[in-house]
Structure 1
Amino acid sequence: MSEALVASRTAGTDVFVPAASGGLQFWRRLRTQRAALGAAVVVALLVLVALAAPLLTAIEGQDPTSYHPALIDSARGGVPTGPLGGIGPDHWLGIEPQTGRDLFARLAYGARVSLGVALAATVVQIAFGVVLGIAAGLGNRWVDELLSRITDIFVAMPLMIMSLALLAIVPPAFPRPVLVTLVIGLISWGNIAKVVRARTLTLKELDHVAAARLSGWGAWRIARRELVPGLAAPVLTYAALLVPQNVTVEAALSFLGVGVKPPTPSWGQMLTAADVWYQAAPQYLLLPAGALFVTVLALTVLGDGVRTALDPRAASRLRVGTGRRRETKADTGSRGDSV
């Protein structure tokens, strides 16, 4: 197996060393973006809280569904007793108004639903988009035309309206997180299919793909061996930007009452129940809203960092950090020294 070699001149002698792998180059570019690394740490902590929710709530001694009516002031309409919404050693973030359920437990378990649905829906979107995009790009004129028109239909579908309609008619016995995942994933794969088709049309004109076709390889063998490596960067970039979008969609569906149903906790569902308590118990509204804001912001910054690391020629849209300005100053200083 041949290795790519790069030359470096040392003491007048050319020394050839193996080029860095694609993964190593990606990591080197990503670690120069401090904002993206900070966002990755936040996302990792959120995922850790979601995965360790049973352990964390066991340490606290609570669960997300138990009611604590003794901690509710019924004379004031169900407002939690105690300072700051009932925060204390037994309830780290306080309790819900009216029900007395532990807020930390519901936030931790809600992270499992929100992040799990978003990630699983992204996998469904990517799977459908990649398969249909490659099929359209490699197919003949009629296959391409048919799949492109189907893709246009799905792109034109209003996601929220179609999701509301589908979620409203499915029997309640169907697991709601799975249903929300499938609805989001099966409706909104059109844009990634368009990206994959356009990239496939470009890649199949390259010499190595043409040689594979002339040698008699089948379409799916060509796709697996020759096209998928070239599609990895745009697909990973798009997937990184889809996750925060899907977090928002899941929260919106739960907020509208057609997403995850009680007693399963969800951040959007918590916002729905908190809309009448923002004055009497503001922490009930601020905690799930803050969790959503931090999650979407961290995923968006991380997705932008992944996009920039995979395509170093593209400037970051967020312009976060000062590394680029320092590089510019260093280049200017080196040019001044050379003059």
Structure 2
Amino acid sequence: MSEALVASQPPGTDTPVPGASGARQFWRRLRAQRAALVAAAVVALLVLVALAAPLLTALEGQDPTTYHPSLIDSARGGVPIGSFGGISADHWLGVEPQTGRDLFARLAYGARVSLAVALAATVLQVFLGIVIGVASALGNRWVDQLLSRVTDIIVALPLMIMSLALLAIVPSSFPRPVLVSLVIGLIAWGNIAKIVRAQTLTLKGLDYVLAARLSGWGAWRIARRELLPGLAAPVITYAALLVPTNISAEAALSFLGVGVKPPTPSWGQMLTAADVWYQAAPQYLLLPAGALFVTVLALTVLGDGVRTALDPRAASRLRVGTGRRNETGGAGTGKEETS
């Protein structure tokens, strides 16, 4: 409820707390979706592995950059010695062809890079989308037209082509993970800006926003106190779906050779180096590809679950459908009993 409307209520009137109630409803709806819970557990495990990568690799006794030439069969072109890519007690997932670097260590550190780049790019996209979308909806006609046309241009830009062009001209001394995050975030904020603008235009006509404007509040205070809480659900939903998209974009850029550079490990970079080893050492290709597939799938399922949990119409459709089935079943039972 708007603070302007709350201030007008008589003293002693109980005011509901929609935020707490909405949070409880969200968790209840999310817990009802088993696929979303499984996806959340997988995502939590991946984040834990990424955060604990130094501890896990220290426990294994390896690191992602040390070469082990004694574990490579040079006579066979650099294929790892031993079965299943050189899996052993010292190398849990085997070693990398030609270099002998530990695959588990590179996968764990690669998860840090891929997830960090995707999350940083998502935060930047959400920030720019909210600022530009709200400014466009609250501004005058000329501001709205200008920002809307800029947003249309951004949406029309091909992400991969623009990223390739920008990453190719930036000096190699610039930290590559930071650069990839900036490039993805600065190019792909257009869709969320459109969503925020449309939702803000809808919220502007509601009673509590009009009451706040009549109370003399400025545009910034209205946006911060009244509009942003109403924008939380669509923004969180879209952001949850942006993370897997950004992970795929980072992997594609690294695969094309313009993303994260060696020796920093990245799943996309590992796929680039593994494309010629799919027959001699298939685990070198399957491990990063499988990790990328599971991560994107889990984040996509979790994002869809968050969207459903934040959509109040989902629960109402379920209740209405169940009620109709119950009424139909009850009517049919009554007819059978009457006959």
The TM-score normalised by the length of structure 2 is: 0.90
- The answer for the alignment partner of 1:15 in structure 2 is none
- The answer for the alignment partner of 1:66 in structure 2 is 66
- The answer for the alignment partner of 1:112 in structure 2 is 112
- The answer for the alignment partner of 2:10 in structure 1 is none
Counterpart check, 1:3 vs 2:21: no
What is the alpha-carbon distance in structure 2 between the residues aligned to residue 312 and residue 231 of structure 1? 14
Counterpart code for 1:230: G
Counterpart check, 1:336 vs 2:338: no
Counterpart code for 2:153: I
Counterpart code for 1:336: G
- The answer for the alignment partner of 1:276 in structure 2 is 276
Tell me: CA distance 1:23–1:329, structure 2 relative to 1, closer, same or farther (3 Å): closer
Matches within 5 A, 1:121-140: 121-140=121-140
Structure 1 residue 174: deviation in Å?
A: 0.5
- The answer for the alignment partner of 1:252 in structure 2 is 252
Tell me the alpha carbon deviations over residues 117-163 of structure 1, each in whole angstroms, 9 at most, x when there is no partner: 00110000000000000000000000000000111110010000000
- The answer for the alignment partner of 2:45 in structure 1 is 45
Matches within 5 A, 1:221-236: 221-236=221-236
Structure 1 residue 215: deviation in Å?
A: 2.3
What is the alpha-carbon distance in structure 1 between the residues aligned to residue 203 and residue 139 of structure 2? 14
Structure 1 residue 21: deviation in Å?
A: 1.1
Tell me the alpha carbon deviations over residues 66-108 of structure 1, each in whole angstroms, 9 at most, x when there is no partner: 0000000000000000010000100000000000000000000
What is the alpha-carbon distance in structure 1 between the residues aligned to residue 312 and residue 218 of structure 2? 34
Give the secondary structure class of the aligned counterpart of 1:263: coil
Counterpart check, 1:98 vs 2:94: no
Tell me: CA distance 1:42–1:331, structure 2 relative to 1, closer, same or farther (3 Å): farther
What is the alpha-carbon distance in structure 2 between the residues aligned to residue 20 and residue 134 of structure 1? 25
What is the alpha-carbon distance in structure 2 between the residues aligned to residue 48 and residue 337 of structure 1? 50
Tell me: CA distance 1:308–1:73, structure 2 relative to 1, closer, same or farther (3 Å): same
- The answer for the alignment partner of 2:210 in structure 1 is 210
Counterpart code for 2:119: L
What is the alpha-carbon distance in structure 2 between the residues aligned to residue 281 and residue 102 of structure 1? 14
Structure 1 residue 273: deviation in Å?
A: 0.1
Give the secondary structure class of the aligned counterpart of 2:313: coil
Counterpart code for 2:228: V
Give the secondary structure class of the aligned counterpart of 1:313: helix
Tell me the alpha carbon deviations over residues 178-231 of structure 1, each in whole angstroms, 9 at most, x when there is no partner: 000000001100000000000111111112111222222111111001100110
- The answer for the alignment partner of 2:78 in structure 1 is 78
What is the alpha-carbon distance in structure 1 between the residues aligned to residue 233 and residue 40 of structure 2? 18
Provide the aligned length of Structure 1 versus Structure 2. 318
Structure 1 residue 29: deviation in Å?
A: 0.3
Matches within 5 A, 1:137-148: 137-148=137-148
What is the alpha-carbon distance in structure 2 between the residues aligned to residue 19 and residue 143 of structure 1? 32
- The answer for the alignment partner of 1:8 in structure 2 is none
Counterpart check, 1:240 vs 2:233: no
Matches within 5 A, 1:11-30: 21-30=21-30
What is the alpha-carbon distance in structure 1 between the residues aligned to residue 261 and residue 19 of structure 2? 52
Does structure 2 conserve the Cα–Cα contact (< 8 Å) formed by 1:29 and 1:312?
no
What is the alpha-carbon distance in structure 1 between the residues aligned to residue 275 and residue 254 of structure 2? 13
Percent same amino acid among aligned pairs?
81
Structure 1 residue 313: deviation in Å?
A: 2.0
Counterpart code for 2:237: T
What is the alpha-carbon distance in structure 1 between the residues aligned to residue 152 and residue 106 of structure 2? 39
Structure 1 residue 332: deviation in Å?
A: 3.2
- The answer for the alignment partner of 2:175 in structure 1 is 175
What is the alpha-carbon distance in structure 1 between the residues aligned to residue 75 and residue 314 of structure 2? 60
Over 6 Å off, 4+ runs: 326-331
Q: Which runs of 5+ in 1 are unaligned?
A: 6-17, 316-323
Tell me: CA distance 1:260–1:235, structure 2 relative to 1, closer, same or farther (3 Å): same
- The answer for the alignment partner of 2:199 in structure 1 is 199
- The answer for the alignment partner of 1:12 in structure 2 is none
Comparing both structures, which one devotes a greater share of its residues to helix? Answer: 2
Q: Which runs of 5+ in 2 are unaligned?
A: 1-5, 7-13, 335-339
Counterpart code for 1:138: L
